[in-house]
Amino acid sequence: MKHRNSPGFTLVEMAVVLLILSLLAGSLSAGLSSHLARRAERATDDALDEARDTLLGYALRKGHFPCPAKGPQDGTEDRNGSTCTRQAGLLPWATLGIQGVDGWSHRLRYAITPAYTRNITSVDDGTIEIVTRNLDGAELKLTTAGGLTPVVILSHGPNGLGATSADGNRLPAPQPGSDEARNADDNGRLFVSRSLSENPGAPGGAFDDRVTWISPNLIAHHLIGANRLP
């Protein structure tokens, strides 16, 4: 009597099936990672827009901008009368009434010109300089003497180097001398805004910070429109 072959996969067929499944899994994983990255970037841009709008609203109500936060566990502004204890630090999220975190759950950073933390009677230039880099890596000024900006808000990006997490933990510092290190400097008087780069050997190093600022002209537009300035 002849035995009928049992239906089933051969070893070669099983190997082909496993290869196809692994390729599909890799494709789905890459697609999901890309989707999550874009979502975090959009959330960060929305958080930066919210911070800018809320700061302008605060200035319209109070006549001045808030100081940076007291610390990673206390989001109220660190103010002593009319004086700020520091000029750069974390966005004072509790004072502004917002979450103040980017798409990677890191606290937004904030720098302010001291004169703008007191009653604003005229809109003068700020003290904060913004620079970028051209395609050759050479540094270019986005603000110049006579046009420095009063307010900067930034996210330290997905790598989080120099950032503070939403639960108050400080993340590792950026590579010394890099553009990201300049953005994390407590001096808060020079910031870099440039194209994203994963190349640590590029001029200024790898870079994924997202930076925005409020110009004197925008502040004047809002204060004049609200009749806070003539």
Separation of first and last alpha carbons in the chain: 107
Which of 17-26, 101-110, 161-170 is predicted least confidently? 17-26
pLDDT digits (tens, 9 = 90+) for 133-149: 998 999 999 998 778 99
Q: 69 or 34: which carries more pLDDT confidence?
A: 69
Q: Give the per-residue pLDDT at 36.
A: 75
The model's pTM: 0.84
Angstrom distance (rounded) from CA 58 to CA 200: 39
Q: Is the pLDDT of residue 14 over 80?
A: no
Report the alpha-carbon distance of residue 76 to residue 84 in Å, rounded.
12
Mean pLDDT over 201-219 rounds to 96
Taking the C-alpha atoms of residue 138 and residue 76, their distance in angstroms, rounded to an integer, is 39
> What is the distance between the alpha carbons of residues 77 and 71, in angstroms, rounded to a whole number?
9
Domain boundaries, the chain: 32-225
- Give residue 149's region: left, alpha or beta (phi > 0; psi -120 to 50): beta
* C-alpha–C-alpha distance, residues 64 and 83, integer Å: 12
What share of the chain in percent tops pLDDT 90?
77
**pLDDT for 192:** 97
Beta pairing class for 190-192 and 129-133: parallel
pLDDT in tens, 85-139: 999 999 999 999 999 999 999 999 999 999 999 999 999 999 999 999 998 999 9
> 82 or 202: which carries more pLDDT confidence?
202
Average pLDDT, the chain: 91
Percentage of residues in the chain having pLDDT higher than 70: 93
**Could you tell me if 179 and 169 are in contact, meaning their C-beta atoms sit under 8 angstroms apart?**
no
